Structure 1
Amino acid sequence: MDLRQLRYFSHIAELEHFGRAADRLHIAQPALTRQIRQLEEEIGVELFERLPRGVRLTAAGRVLFAQTKDLLAQCERMIKLTQQVSRGQAGLLRIGFADGVTFNRTFSEILKAFRQECPDVVLDLVPASSLEQAELLARKELDLGFVYWLPKAQSVHSLQFQEEALMLAVPKSSHLAKRKSITIEDLSEYPIVWFRRSNSPSYYDLIVSRFEQKGCTLNVVQEANNESTMLSLVSADIGATFITESALRRKPDDVVFIPVTDLNAMLSVKAMWSDDNNPALSKLVAVVRRAIM
């Protein structure tokens, strides 16, 4: 039994006539009759009752016809899905994103544009630090990551968004809140909410080095796992934190952002990925390129 025989059988069952089915299938009637006879012999039952002017399904034939319609429809869906995957129009993409990336408007625009272009591609969004994403990418457990820092010992492709200056987020109750700008010296011994160094060593060390260059110490009084938590702790008057300008979109009402004139720390989101034969990944990279041009 093969799919061709089942298709032949299905056409005859619909038309109840071998001759008309042969015309529709563009094959000779004797060849069609031979295929159905082989199918009946293989199954061991008669599928059609021969009538003077056509045929009709036997009870066994009606059961097979019902099952055949479902099977052929499933095969058609399978072929369509396979073709879509090969064109990057379907499948699965695992996308990582570092905390804070969601503040970036370009990130949101990329996801929206890709969903519009490839609505049948399933996006598995994975929150993870830049370091964790590098490890996932190396293990082929991630297709593309949106990060702040690229791995040094790992060969990846990358595209960079526009750089953003880091700003200081302070509670409105702070004596610094009404300042138009501040310097690092203004923050000497000021309580800071910051993340663990293991989350992003390069980012952490950059800020520490800027303080050390001014003869100051970064006074971390509370650690947090992500930028959303850091902003919440600032709102709770635990301390201040450094954050990108794009976070202004979602800052709490009782938090103020102030430029730090001598911090000289720029941060940018980067899309990183490894070589892969996933056509959907190529389409996502193309969307990223268009978004940042």
Structure 2
Amino acid sequence: MGKKSSAGNLELRHLRYFLAIADEMNFGQAAEKLDIAQPGLSQQIKMLEHILGVTLFDRSRRRLRMTLAGEMFESEARQIMAHVDRAVEGTQRAGRGEVGRLAIGYVGSAAYTGMLTSLVGDFRVSYPKVDLAISELPMLTQLEAIAHGSLDIGFIRPPVPLPEGVASVLVMSENIALALPAAHRQAGKDVVSLGDVSDEVFIIPEHPPQVSFHSHTLEACGRAGFEPRLGPQGRDFMTISSMVSVGLGVALVPQSVSCVQLPNVVYRPIAYPESKVELSVAYRRGDASMAVKNFIALARKIARSA
């Protein structure tokens, strides 16, 4: 047994058999625990000793004892098996999407709806080991980042052209409201018709005509029978509301924006035509990440319940 041997033929089953005997200090009980025949277990341990070139168990006495080499090997074998168990568990958890990292972007108005905090909060409860990186980003920047793989999830306001390979799921819709200066002649009404502000300048987000609230403004005013005079553009709805507050115009905004009160601004429901705006979650179509799949599955579930 003093011959130095290679560990090239050492297998995890050898360690598992050895540790079972180390626990029981009895070949028969260990074999029963492993659900294998005792002669087969004895043969495997002899093979392990041959591979290692040492004697692991002193079989010369009535009671089985471990040699010094066996004691040293036991300590290392337990560490190896514990490491293997952690690796297997970690791999399986990653495969289920329970660990990893998720990069999430959102437009500012998504936070006002409560859907962002609700969805992300529920995801954190279900998958607490997934690290979340959350940042406010312009909608078109989000979509480009998702397409290129630097962002996993995006909260967006349709309509917006989706890049190739990017899909979205609708999570909620809400009414569109009219933001007016507090001193405006229509501000005292409970409900305002768009036709009553057809002579006003409309402030819109920094979007192309076919995108989000630029599109919503043109469409809603068109259905009210007029073409809006478009004025300054704002980076987000807080900027737009600030522009309204200083009298630069009026603006169509998501109803949820009214939860953040700014001085000299009022938000009024639209009497005619009533309009809706959507909030969607964008993601890469066919993304292999289970964390992404779990997030989208949760988004669909919340959308159905809403």
Could you say which TM-score interval applies, normalised by the shorter chain? 0.7 to 0.9
Going from structure 1 to structure 2, the CA distance change for 1:173 and 1:2 (only over 3 Å counts) comes to farther
- Where do 5+ consecutive residues of structure 2 fail to align? 1-9
Alignment correspondent of 2:170: 160
Q: CA deviation at 1:148?
A: 0.9
Going from structure 1 to structure 2, the CA distance change for 1:152 and 1:29 (only over 3 Å counts) comes to closer
- State the SS of the aligned residue for 1:100: helix
Alignment correspondent of 1:104: 113
TM-score w.r.t. the length of structure 2 is 0.72
Going from structure 1 to structure 2, the CA distance change for 1:81 and 1:229 (only over 3 Å counts) comes to farther
Is 1:76 the equivalent of 2:88?
no
Structure 2: distance between partners of 1:47 and 1:120: 41
Going from structure 1 to structure 2, the CA distance change for 1:22 and 1:163 (only over 3 Å counts) comes to closer
Q: CA deviation at 1:200?
A: 8.4
Describe how 1:184-263 pairs up with structure 2 within 5 A: 186=197, 192=203, 195-197=205-207, 201-207=211-217, 214=226, 216-220=228-232, 223-224=234-235, 226-228=236-238, 230=240, 233=242, 237=246, 242-252=252-262, 255-261=265-271
- The question of whether the paired residues in 2 share the 8 Å contact of 1:184 and 1:260 is answered with no
Q: CA deviation at 1:257?
A: 1.8
Q: Count how many residue pairs are aligned between Structure 1 and Structure 2.
A: 288
Q: CA deviation at 1:100?
A: 1.3
Aligned pair partner of 1:21 in 30, 39, 44: 30
Structure 1: distance between partners of 2:36 and 2:178: 77
Alignment correspondent of 1:276: 287
- Aligned Cα RMSD in Å? 3.9
Alignment correspondent of 2:44: 35
- The question of whether the paired residues in 1 share the 8 Å contact of 2:100 and 2:130 is answered with yes
- The question of whether the paired residues in 1 share the 8 Å contact of 2:201 and 2:229 is answered with no
Structure 1: distance between partners of 2:43 and 2:148: 54
- The question of whether the paired residues in 1 share the 8 Å contact of 2:177 and 2:255 is answered with yes
Structure 1: distance between partners of 2:198 and 2:175: 17
- State the SS of the aligned residue for 1:268: strand
Structure 1: distance between partners of 2:71 and 2:183: 79
Q: CA deviation at 1:54?
A: 1.0
- State the SS of the aligned residue for 2:230: coil
- Where do 5+ consecutive residues of structure 1 fail to align? none
